[in-house]
Amino acid sequence: MPATCVVGLQWGDEAKGKIVDLLGADHHFVVRYNGGANAGHTIVWGSRTFRLSILPTGVLNPNVKSIIGNGLVVYPPRLLEELDQLKTGGITVGDNLAVSDHAHVIFPYHMEEERLVETSSEGGAIGTTGRGIGPCYQDKVGRRFAIRVGELLHPDHLRERLRFVVPFKNRLLAALGHGHSTPVKTFDANTLCDEYLGYADRLKPFVTDTARVLHDGLAAGKKILFEGAQGSLLDVDHGTYPFVTSSSSLPSGIWTGTGVPARNLTRVIGVVKAYTTRVGGGPFPTELNDGPDGTGERIRRIGREYGTVTGRPRRTGWFDAVAVRYTAALSGADEITVMLLDVLSGLPELKLCTSYQIDGGTTRHFPSDAFQLQRCTPVYETLPGWAEDVTKCRKPADLPAAARRYVDRISELVGLPVAVVSVGPDREQTIHLK
């Protein structure tokens, strides 16, 4: 049976959650395969709005099994907080959620390590969310000091592990904090163990071997929907390094992040905004730095471009077809969906980046190394805007001619069909072109 992946083709925040929500009911599993609580998505469910960062979007549907795969890093207090948020909103999560026993655990010392590195007087901050994601992945790759979710369920083993790990972390934090302007936190192994054993009691019903669950599902002919976190331009291997996340946000992360072989993937849906945004540091060729009364701020205000996880204002800019062509090819996208088209209504003209100028020449290829991309200047194509409100459009014919031309031009530049256009956050505010 087919497996589908929904993946963002920009720097994240592409409104992937809405597409996953629309498709979820047609699948038996919705699976997160990378990242952690640094990946926020807002879901409008009837009259209720939920802001989730680690739970898969499919968790709102009791008939769909939501999987947190082994490729994630999990901060138990945040996961429990999201479960409580859903319960308060009238949605109880039970056996429709499974958490991989091989996912790695974030501890407070990971957050402190990240804080000290990001605020170091030596500079070099990447602009992380401060959730301890990177340091946890570093421990995972380094092996000696990592702890996995399944280990939380074995008290004596967990206490022994933390008694080994915590003294090292305290020494590391003291070294990182040398000369720092703020006090450095230290941690006690037994206190941390008691705290995390409390989380384990609540998480225990969900913890299992999720790779086996998915393999059994495939053998039974079940359909899987994979939900990528962050965006393809933040992929640790192919994104704008070093201003990237610490995991594989492309569909290539599915195999390692869930245990499902790549050959099972039959459809890739690439999600883009009708413009571009970015959070944190790193080069952004089409960024609009045009002041408080400019187009960039207008897009931010109307699009409510503030981070779901951090609340930080997102950087905004014109649609970058060079970047999206690159990520569409990397992800193997079959089609794209264009989100937040309604945000652009009322602008007299719109720009699309078709190529870059660098070192006196022009290129249509995307340099993913940050130091190279920083030197690129966008080459724009200008299209007329539209004044009409498109939030009530439901069919392609309802769109103003200029809006339809804009969408068609994105399709031409990226080289993929546009299957869906979103003109608002609600499910009904969706136009199916394919």
**Spatial CB neighbours of 148, under 8 Å, sequence gap ≥ 6:** 101, 102, 103, 104, 105
Is 398 annotated for ligand binding? no
Query: How many Å separate Cα 251 from the centre of its chain?
Result: 12
DSSP 3-state of 364: coil
Selecting among 41, 102, 169, 273, the annotated active-site residue is: 41
Both tokens assigned to 59: 């968790």
User: Is residue 336 scored above 90 in pLDDT?
Assistant: yes
CB count in 10 Å sphere of residue 45: 16
Spatial separation of the C-alpha atoms in residues 271 and 410, rounded to whole Å = 12
User: Is residue 74 scored above 70 in pLDDT?
Assistant: yes
% of the chain with per-residue pLDDT over 70: 97
Residue 389 annotated in active site: no
pLDDT for res 123: 63
Is 16 annotated for ligand binding? yes
Is 94 annotated for ligand binding? no
At residue 423 the predicted structure's pLDDT band, cuts being 50, 70 and 90, is very high
Is 422 annotated for ligand binding? yes
Strand ranges inside 311-417, DSSP E: 315-317, 319-320, 335-339, 349-358, 361-363, 377-384
Q: Using alpha carbons only, what angle is made at residue 220 by residues 214 and 221, rounded to the nearest 5 degrees?
A: 90
Spatial separation of the C-alpha atoms in residues 391 and 288, rounded to whole Å = 24
Task: Yes or no: say if 30 and 23 are a contact pair by the CB < 8 Å rule.
Answer: no
User: Is residue 113 scored above 90 in pLDDT?
Assistant: yes
Task: Yes or no: say if 385 and 350 are a contact pair by the CB < 8 Å rule.
Answer: yes
DSSP 3-state of 298: helix
pLDDT for res 173: 95
Q: Using alpha carbons only, what angle is made at residue 129 by residues 128 and 133, rounded to the nearest 5 degrees?
A: 80
At what angle are helices 321-331 and 401-414 packed, to 10 degrees? 50
At residue 32 the predicted structure's pLDDT band, cuts being 50, 70 and 90, is very high
User: Is residue 256 scored above 70 in pLDDT?
Assistant: yes
pLDDT for res 62: 86
Phi, psi dihedrals of residue 6, rounded to the nearest 5°: -105, 120
% of the chain with per-residue pLDDT over 90: 78
Selecting among 65, 140, 169, 351, the annotated active-site residue is: 140
Is 35 annotated for ligand binding? no
Q: Quick one: which H or E segment has residue 108?
A: helix 108-118
Both tokens assigned to 324: 């999206």
pLDDT for res 229: 87
Mean pLDDT over residues 261-269, rounded?
94
What is the residue-wise DSSP string for 315-336?
EEE-EEHHHHHHHHHHHT-SEE
User: Is residue 44 scored above 90 in pLDDT?
Assistant: no
Residues in the chain: 434
Task: Yes or no: say if 313 and 305 are a contact pair by the CB < 8 Å rule.
Answer: yes
Mean pLDDT over residues 270-292, rounded?
93
Highest mean pLDDT among 17-31, 39-53, 101-115: 101-115
Mean pLDDT over residues 297-324, rounded?
90
pLDDT for res 121: 60
Mean pLDDT over residues 341-367, rounded?
96
At what angle are helices 155-176 and 189-203 packed, to 10 degrees? 130
Is 312 annotated for ligand binding? yes
Task: Yes or no: say if 356 and 377 are a contact pair by the CB < 8 Å rule.
Answer: yes
Both tokens assigned to 398: 């309802």
What tens digit of pLDDT does each residue of 377-391 get?
999 999 999 999 999
Superfamily in which the 272-432 domain is placed by CATH: Adenylosuccinate Synthetase, subunit A, domain 3 (3.90.170.10)
User: Is residue 302 scored above 90 in pLDDT?
Assistant: yes
* Of residues 117, 151, 154, the one with CA closest to residue 135: 117
Is 230 annotated for ligand binding? yes
What tens digit of pLDDT does each residue of 217-239 get?
999 999 999 998 889 999 999 99
Is 156 annotated for ligand binding? no
Phi, psi dihedrals of residue 113, rounded to the nearest 5°: -60, -45
Phi, psi dihedrals of residue 74, rounded to the nearest 5°: -115, 125
Spatial separation of the C-alpha atoms in residues 268 and 225, rounded to whole Å = 10
Q: Mean pLDDT in the chain?
A: 93
User: Is residue 41 scored above 80 in pLDDT?
Assistant: no
Residue 13 annotated in active site: yes
Superfamily in which the 104-202 domain is placed by CATH: Adenylosuccinate Synthetase, subunit A, domain 2 (1.10.300.10)
77 or 434, which is more confident: 77
Tracing tokens 């809006």 back to the chain, one arrives at 403
Is 309 annotated for ligand binding? yes
Q: Quick one: which H or E segment has residue 213?
A: helix 210-219
Residue 320 annotated in active site: no
Give me the architecture of the 3-100+207-269 domain, per CATH.
3-Layer(aba) Sandwich (3.40)
pLDDT for res 143: 93
pLDDT for res 241: 93
Mean pLDDT over residues 191-208, rounded?
97
Mean pLDDT over residues 177-189, rounded?
89
Is 317 annotated for ligand binding? no
Q: Where are the domains of the chain?
A: 3-100+207-269, 104-202, 272-432
pLDDT for res 283: 95
Quote the pTM value.
Answer: 0.92
At residue 1 the predicted structure's pLDDT band, cuts being 50, 70 and 90, is low
Mean pLDDT over residues 161-172, rounded?
97
pLDDT for res 207: 98
Pairing label, strands 276-278, 315-317: antiparallel
Mean pLDDT over residues 350-369, rounded?
95
**Spatial CB neighbours of 263, under 8 Å, sequence gap ≥ 6:** none
Mean pLDDT over residues 61-79, rounded?
95
Spatial separation of the C-alpha atoms in residues 236 and 242, rounded to whole Å = 8
Is 313 annotated for ligand binding? yes
Is 311 annotated for ligand binding? yes
